[in-house]
Amino acid sequence: MSQYLSLKDHVYNYISEKINDGSLKPEDKINEQQISDALEISRTPIREALIQLAAEGYLESIPRKGFRVRNLDYNKAKELYEIIGLLDGRIAYLTIDIISEEDIRNMEFLADSMTAAIEQDLSNRYYELQVDFHNTYINLCKNQEMINLLNQLKRSFLRKYYVFGHSQEEIEILKETNQEHYEIIRLFKEKKKEELERYIRDVHWSKEKAIYDSL
């Protein structure tokens, strides 16, 4: 049983990474036989992984046709942004009194590293850094169910990587978003609970930004 579960997890990671790095794009059909050949495993754990990915929002199941990568529409993205903003902001509120100076220094380092990633067009690196940035305080939260729900909602997004070079507008959006990271750091430093919660909820996860995750 443990071997079977590990195979399913292996498939899960394989497919989610393909989505994250852009190898699989919205509405691309999942080829189960191709995955079976690539990973040299049977179809059963592949099917289980696909069902889990569909349940978490990565994929959608098409009757009699299999699975395809989900295309997130603007209205759905707005709804998710609103809920994520509420959870992320509340977690920041709950952790502001226990976050350490070392944690804050690490967040500063990560924000600086994101600036460098933008300048060097390191799209996947930028994504990894911003995940680490938010996880610095999220993982301090004592409410594990809140963390699990937040992470599940974030996994609903297909646009897990950032495509640099397509437009100056996209680059400016990333720069603006990273400036928000510095503001989050400032509010953590100054222990401004309510202001931090509002900023993350209403600015950092503003519903107007959802358009960029629905493209």
Higher-confidence residue: 11 or 72? 11
Residue 13 has pLDDT above 90, yes or no: no
State percent of the chain over pLDDT 70: 89
Per residue in 25-43, pLDDT (tens digit) is 888 999 999 999 999 999 9
DSSP helix/strand/coil, 23: coil
Question: Residue 68's beta-bridge partner residues?
Answer: 29, 60
**Mean pLDDT score of the chain, rounded to an integer?**
87
Query: What's the one-letter identity of residue 187?
Result: L
* All domains of the chain in start order, with CATH: 2-69 (1.10.10.10), 74-213 (1.20.120.530)
Three-state SS string across the chain, please? CHHHHHHHHHHHHHHHHHHHCCCCCCCCECCHHHHHHHHCCCHHHHHHHHHHHHHCCCEEEECCCEEEECCCCHHHHHHHHHHHHHHHHHHHHHHCCCCCHHHHHHHHHHHHHHHHHHHCCCHHHHHHHHHHHHHHHHCCCCCHHHHHHHHHHHCCCCCCCCCCCCCHHHHHHHHHHHHHHHHHHHHHHCCCHHHHHHHHHHHHCCHHHHHHHCC
> Which tens digit of pLDDT belongs to each residue from 127-145?
889 999 999 999 999 999 9
Q: What is the pLDDT of residues 179-215, one digit of tens each?
A: 999 999 999 999 999 999 999 999 999 977 765 554 4
Task: Assign 93 a pLDDT band (cuts: 50, 70, 90).
Answer: very high
